[in-house]
Amino acid sequence: MQDNVLMLKPINDLLDKKFYIPAYQRGYRWTKRQVTDLLDDIKEFQQQVENSPNAKDEFYCLQPIVVKKHGDEWEIVDGQQRLTTIHIILTCLKEILPLVGKSRYEISYETRKGSSDFLANINEDQAEDNIDFFHIVEAKKAVEEWFKDKGNYRIQLIQTLLNEDDSGKNVKVIWYELGELENATEVFTRLNMGKIPLVNAELVKALFLKSSHFVANGDEVIKLQQLKISQEWDSIEKSLQDDAFWYFLSNRKTKTNRIEFILNLRALALHNGKGILDNDKFKTFLQFNHILAQDDADVSQQWLEIKKTFMTLSEWFSDRTLFHLIGYLVSQDVSISKIFEISNNSQGKKDFHNRLIKQIWHLVFSGKTQTSPSLDELKNTMKKYLADLNYENSNTKQLRQTLLLFNIVSLLNNPDSNARFQFEKFKLDDWDIEHIRSISSEIPDSIDKQKQWLEQVIDYTSEDNTLDAYSNFTIDNFKEAQLIKKQAYHLYSTSFTKGQFEDVYDRVISLYDPNNNDEVDNSIGNLTLLDSSTNRSYKNAIFPIKRKRIIKLDKEATYVPLCTRNVFLKYYSTNVDKMLYWEASDSNDYQSAILDTMTNFFTEIGAQ
């Protein structure tokens, strides 16, 4: 009984075939842009390999064509648009085809009988007869317009499009032939309605499960081998579906086929890209296809190498130190393949740790000090680096990079703790930099933002124990707080002018942030990481309101990065009498804590 067949086929090998499009498929719908993009891609490929020494081995790969055999015809399950477009291109060049000894494949339709004849002889006068004819005519016009300024390029395109494998430098399709037991309608639904396309992962899985890739030890043995790979494949995918694991490895917010990440890593190590374009979206599949197509291919060994790659990543994830070092580097767009390179060059685990720390040092402080600075030099370098960071003048990425690193090293400087940074929450919730104490220039400038700000003030001053918690409030402070609450509630409940809002805004700032008129503090000592929700909703809020928000999140066990929580609980401040305020002294203490923590991390002790 026939299994699914997966192979590469040059377009030339399709020319003698008869295809039909079943009733469950919609008609042809490609736009002019899609048609010209395909032609541009083929032309670009042809020019790239024109003088290549390996031109015979190189090819341009189209996306998969999924078919099922019916007598002497092939039912097109997926790929109708591509096959029809190629047919339209060949129709526009039909006068040349006999000169190169080529013809066109046939396409018929299960329900739209007239479409087959129309496709074979496109008549623009019939474009308005139905929607299928209209799009076919538009595609033909796009092809003809594309050729207008190309001179004699028609012959070159025909050769590139239809070269045989012996000649090379041609166009191929990924030919996916469904086995006898496959239900074509169900496969179509899965690929189209279910939005599960045949991506690299799906294609590579099909390669590894092909019966012909196993030593013929009997059908039952082959089935057991296939089942084993299939179960292990699903197990790896399930592990990668754990967001904690996935966002340790990757910054991509993808939901399905995460195993493709592992396949890509293994494919990089194969070093067999001969004939495969670097930018080919199916490069990973093509690499595995090349390996497994060899006469001496060992599918079990290739699968074992994939599992080894996965197991290495799992080990790194389980190791708390490696988890944080690698997780930080990945968050800064250092690839896992680069991490593998560092690992392969390391002399044991401790050396691997130290090399990762050096990689972080160069990433953040590159060019700012010598390779092996003394403790004093290191501290002076970081002190100057932190002092130069500024919300207005510094690169946002640089600020975020530094604040994130502060969180990571704070966790690593306590080896007795089992606490872990939650990269998945950090990435999914889009944590970014924000002022700890809002600056005066951030006064809400729209009615919606002003009402939101008033609502926060009302909510804060209405808390039963809010005022009692601050024993350093005078009687006048209490009275002012109550008047502010009353005024804010009144404005929130009615329409108000800009002047009325500014009046209550100034009173709130005067009570809760009396030093707001000081020089604007854009230093890193007034910056921290906040989640996107807090950033949006509390951007203009005064310090105690932001503080209340962070405490609420912490109480609810919602993830808050360690150092963000510490800031709003004022754990870095030497003076904790004024819990309502964030003053210059708090900013200085916080910046000193960053400096001390970083210095400790990048010393020999911190590198253990």
Position with higher pLDDT, 447 vs 577: 447
201-210, 389-398, 577-586: least confident range: 577-586
Could you tell me which residues come within 8 angstroms of residue 128 by beta carbon, excluding any fewer than 6 positions away?
A: 134
The whole-angstrom separation of Cα 154 and Cα 137 is: 19
**Distance between start and end Cα atoms, the chain:** 60
pLDDT score, position 399: 93
Dihedral angle sign, alpha carbons of residues 133, 134, 135, 140: positive
pLDDT score, position 464: 52
How remote is the C-alpha of 164 from its chain's centroid?
38
Per-residue confidence at 519, pLDDT binned at 50, 70, 90?
Answer: low
The four Cα atoms 469, 470, 476, 481 give a dihedral, to 10 degrees, of -60
Strands of the sheet with 170-177, listed across from one edge? 5-10, 170-177, 59-70, 73-78, 18-21, 106-109
Q: Is pLDDT at 181 greater than 50 in this prediction?
A: yes
pLDDT score, position 197: 65
Q: Is pLDDT at 518 greater than 80 in this prediction?
A: no
Task: Kindly state the average pLDDT of the residues 201-207.
Answer: 89
Position with higher pLDDT, 480 vs 431: 431
Beta strand pairing call for 170-177 and 59-70: parallel
Position with higher pLDDT, 203 vs 295: 203
Region of residue 218 (left: phi > 0; alpha: psi -120 to 50; beta: else):
left
The whole-angstrom separation of Cα 123 and Cα 137 is: 8
Q: Is pLDDT at 41 greater than 90 in this prediction?
A: yes
134-143, 157-166, 206-215, 592-601: least confident range: 206-215
Q: Where are the domains of the chain?
A: 5-197, 396-583
- Whose CA is closest to 563, among 405, 392, 429, 380? 405
How remote is the C-alpha of 481 from its chain's centroid?
47
Average pLDDT along the chain: 86
pTM of the predicted model as reported, rounded to 2 decimal places: 0.81
Q: Is 243 exposed, middle or buried (0-12, 13-18, 19+ CB in 10 A)?
A: middle
pLDDT score, position 606: 44
pLDDT score, position 372: 58
Helix H or strand E encompassing 150: none
Position with higher pLDDT, 113 vs 46: 46
pLDDT tens, position by position, 213-239: 676 666 677 778 888 999 999 999 999
Per-residue confidence at 92, pLDDT binned at 50, 70, 90?
Answer: very high
- Whose CA is closest to 496, among 442, 545, 447? 447
pLDDT tens, position by position, 264-285: 999 988 877 667 777 788 889 9
Q: Which of 52-61, 143-152, 398-407 has the highest mean pLDDT?
A: 398-407
